[in-house]
Every structure is written in structure tokens, then in C-alpha cells.
Structure 1
């Protein structure tokens, strides 16, 4: 069964902006001039539900009260953090729900037409008995949200073997590749849905990656394409490479994104990155050899580990 929630509105543009930029939904489709109606479909790809908003020459006559709430559940506290930042950026105020349960278990705002929207965390518990999940449980980590927080707080550093996901816990460290592939592997083993592992090629420079200092500029480079791993959780990009990582710092510098499996963070990611760099050098007439560019890149990574 597929669930659709349909509502008539006077302003499709404002509604689309709110539900995509703050709630984090995607526009799945739409239509124009269908029996005097225009409409949009918003939701999460490959889910069995979506929202439909329509407009026409008739003014909506909807009525609602404080207990009429549309609730969106996220699966980790970090997702709620991101939503709170977006709410603040949009200059929207958090509101106090009438129902005491929601006062304790969520945050509420109003959409552009005054309808109440609630965000709450629905924790995902581990159900698998595999060795990697058991290793997580031995750390007294109870759910997916706690695992993300635990991994985010591990120090940045390369592991001895990228293909051994357990080393993130055993060595108490990890990189963007090992941390995010470890989390994705746990998600797969426990059948957590709507979680993707992504490689994003971004323009690494001294502004979005401050630790590299003037290393690139000293070598005549404004930026260097770097392969960076992160997660897509319920359509929200999450970067937990270190405690202070924030995808917002990179989003305007993303050149290309591809989805991968955890096992691809080793050989595949390296080959993909090298091939991208070689093409970038040729296409942009960079006056440095690939070997020299890769050497500079390795010096940048060493600064990140320092």
C-alpha cells in the first residue's frame, strides 16, 4: 500500500521551498493545468509515501487546530541537529506543542500556511548478531544514533587496513572513508533503510579545509579535487569525519557525487580519484604532472592527520 497525504494550497512555490529546504524532502514530480489544478509531489525516493500539494483558482478552506500535526521521524540526533540549524537559518521560531508528549519528544514549527510540523527521533536498535555489530554492542552503544555520535568523536587517522571495518573501533580512529563505510556496513547488516554511502569530489582549498594552510597556493593551485566520503541519511548529507565536520562547508564546492558500497572505499575509491585527477589535469592544462599533484595531495592529507 502507498500512502499519499494531499492538501490544497495557495502558494506552491513557498510550500515546495519549505518542505525541501527545511524538512529535507525531494520533489518527486508534479503537474500543470490538469483540470484546472497544478500540483507537486514531495517525499523521499523509493519510499511508499509522499505528500501532494495542489493549487487552483479556488481558495483553500482547510481548518485545523493545535493537535493537528504532521510528524516527521528521523533516526538519529545528528539529523535533528541539522534540521534545527536549517530552522534557525530560515529565521523560524520553535513552538510549544499543546500535547505534553510532544513537548518532551520533539520540536515543532509551522509551515508557511500555519500547519504544525513536528520532528522527532525514532531510534534504530541493532538486530543483527554478526561480529561487527557485536563489537559495537560491547562498547555499550545501544542504537544507531549513539553509534554515529561515538564514531564522530573518534580522532582522525588512517587505519592499517581500509577493508577491515572493525579497525575503526579497535584502533579508535578513522578517516572519512573508514568512518562512513563502517557506519554504512553496520546499517546494511542491521537492515536500516534510507542510508547511502557517497563519494563527493569537491574543490579542496584553504577555505573549506583550513588545516592544509597555504600548501596548495604555494604550489600554484587554487584548489585540488579531493574524494570525500559522507552519508546520505533520510535525504540529509551527514559528514562525521571529525567532531567539527559540517557538510554545509563543502556543499557549494561539490563537483560530482556517486553512491558506493562500503567495500568500494579501498581500491575503487583510489582508482576513481586518480582517474578524476588525471582528467582534471588534462582538461584544465595544469602545469604539474599527475605524480606531483598526487604528492601535494598526500601532504594535504598528512596535515589533516596532524
Structure 2
């Protein structure tokens, strides 16, 4: 069986503070809360753009949490196909993000790298991308 090209992708990550990462991804980047559930100390938050073929799953567990361990190469890249708006970067920083230099200078040349409150990196890239 082949995987269909339109298969949805979920990127799952642990979080140490769901409130902080929700503020970053929703208030800062503009994603929507797609799903939220808290049960027995297990807190789940899914964010994304409703029509996108992917979403982020962010999980926090009380008592025995899995700590985020991102590296400088754990990137989520959003291709803007144009300049990175200053007001978007300012909004992400106000929502708890931190502008950081990229380990790969390519991303500093073609965009802005911002660490979320769990230190995972979002790259806003000025270039476009197509798999075609």
C-alpha cells in the first residue's frame, strides 16, 4: 500500500508550558487551535491552519513530563515567498519567541529564525518552495 500524496502530517512535540507555546504559535504566528484536551494530567494542544496539510501536536504531562530537547537543526520552515514582515517578527517576540542566529547561514540569508518558548525553531523564509 502506498501512502497517498494528500496524507495529513502531524508534528508532535513535548512542551514544558502549553500556555506559553499556544501564545507563540496562535497569537504570534496566527495558527488556530484545532483541538485541545486535558485528561488525567495529560494535556494536548493541536494548532495549525485549518486548510493546511499539517498541524503541530503539543503535549504536556503532569508529574512525569518529557522535557523538550530540540537541537539547532530542529526547524519548522514556513516559506513566505516574499519579505518577512517586521510586524510578524515583533508579534512572535512579544508572544514569547526569541530571534536567534541559525546554525546554517542559509536561513540567516533567506529569512529569520525564531525560537519558541520550548526552544524549537521556526524559520520564516523569504523564498518559495514547491515539490513540483
CA shift, 1:84, in A, is: 2.2
Q: Aligned pair count?
A: 122
What 5-or-longer segments of structure 1 have no aligned partner? 125-306
Residues 221-240 of structure 1: CA deviation (Å, up to 9, x unaligned): xxxxxxxxxxxxxxxxxxxx
Could you report, residue by residue, the CA deviation over 1:249-292 in whole angstroms, capped at 9, with x for unpaired residues?
xxxxxxxxxxxxxxxxxxxxxxxxxxxxxxxxxxxxxxxxxxxx
**Using a 3 Å threshold, how does the CA distance of structure 1 residues 4 and 94 change in structure 2: closer, same or farther?**
same
More strand by share: 2
Structure 2 matches for 1:186-265, cutoff 5 A? none
More relative contact order in 1 or in 2 (CA 8 Å, sep 6+)?
2
Correspondence 1:26-45 to 2 at 5 A: 26-33=32-39, 36-45=41-50
The structure with the largest alpha-carbon Rg is 1
SS in 2 for 1:22: helix
- The 8 Å contact of residues 80 and 119 in structure 1, kept in 2 or not, is answered as no
Whether the 8 Å CA contact 2:97–2:116 is kept in 1: the answer is no
Bigger share in helix? 1
> Which of 24, 30, 37 is matched with 1:24 structurally?
30
TM-align CA RMSD: 2.2
TM-score when normalising by structure 1: 0.36
Distance 1:123 1:81, change over 3 A: farther
CA distance, structure 1, for counterparts of residue 73 and residue 122 of structure 2: 11
TM-score if structure 2 supplies the norm length? 0.78
CA distance in 2, matches of 1:88, 1:8: 21
Distance (Å, rounded) in 2 between the aligned partners of 1:93 and 1:61: 19
Q: Give the Cα separation in 2 of the matches to 1:28 and 1:105.
A: 30
Tell me what 1:12 maps to: 18
Can you give the 5+ residue segments of structure 2 that lack an aligned partner in the other structure?
A: 1-6
Aligned counterpart, 1:81: 86
Displacement after TM superposition at 1:100 (Å): 1.6
- Alpha carbons of 1:18 and 1:107: their partners in 2 closer, same or farther (altered >3 Å)? same
